[in-house]
Structure 1
Amino acid sequence: MFIDSLFTRKNESSEFFPENVCLRLLQGLENQNFHLYIYNWYNSIPLLLKLKEFGIECTGTIKQNRKYLPKDFKKIIAGINQSEYLFIRADQILLSCWHDKRMVVCAVNSGRSAIITKKRGKDEIITIPEIIEHYRQFMIGIDMFDQNKTVINQAISGMDWIIKIENTKECIFCYYKKGKKSRTPYICSESKIHLHPNCFYSYHNNIKKL
């Protein structure tokens, strides 16, 4: 019941509304020089402003259709070409937009509109907003796919991440461990076994028990 209620944005007054959950979990941490890094499901302009009042700095990706963003925000960032960036500041909030392989938008209640240049891969040099680079470092990735990739690479030394192919088959972990049939286009690049991304870690941790 708690999990079902947590992932809803229908009732802003509910104690399980994402912003309210965050504020409740952060009670007692006010004005202690903490910096919170947060995923885009929870991040919002009202939350950033409230955390600013509580003396908690916050950086997080934010959905492009979130309320209280600048008017015509999607149209504004649609004009950003690949590798370009844009900063938008309003009151105490700074929006940092960067078009990499896809558009990334971070909203913060502290920080500066600075950029850094870094090397990616063997030869590529990229220019990235400092705020987004800090988010990548502390969250170990931009989105959940990147986070899962990092966790799995750390937990399973030398094993490649799951890859997507055109054909779908039954997820081996769901079938044998959960007793249900569920097809997936993802396979483990090492064992060539079909697995859902969220079953990948569990399967390799329980491989001897299957």
Structure 2
Amino acid sequence: MLQTACAQAAIWRQDAPGFRIGVNLFGLQLHNGNLAAEVRAVLVQTGLPAANLELEVTENIIIQQNDIALRMLRTLYADGVSIAFDDFGTGFASLSLLKRYPLSRLKIDQSFVRNLGQSREDAAIVRSIVHMAKAFGLGVIAEGVETVEQQERLLAKGCDELQGYLYGHPMPALSFASQFGLADRLVREIAA
């Protein structure tokens, strides 16, 4: 999966040099101790710069891991790979993990975004996550953005990036490439 995602991102970078791809990690990948070597090999094979890859881990996966996982993530971070806490605020992780783990970004879970305009509590959580992330020098992505109102509220609170159905639904690579003007390049690369 990582190989395919990085290869596709490398192709799209030819037409959109700033293109960055996020790949979700699962617990076993962090547990086996080979993740850093595997990611490095994939980046070399695909030609994707480390800065254009973001690995996403959930809080719950992190709290189940050991120092080996922490060392691997630190190695990858030092190589330039971004590390994001996905679904931030929904797990049981301690805030001290923000100090311990090498992070680039926090991803605000869609459960806090969904009722942003109707729930003072959700608005306070989003505001707190954004403030905390900024204090740690981290970027902030809000997940699950479906309305213009949510978009406006999140941008006003200081979110750096947004993702969700407002911008697009899950789609095959060819559809994505076509929607963003990358289809011709993608077709040539796949056909070759």
TM-score for both structures, normalised by structure 2: 0.33
Instruction: Point out the structure with the larger strand share.
Output: 1
| Greater RCO (CA < 8 Å, at least 6 residues apart) | 2
Structure of higher CA gyration radius: 1
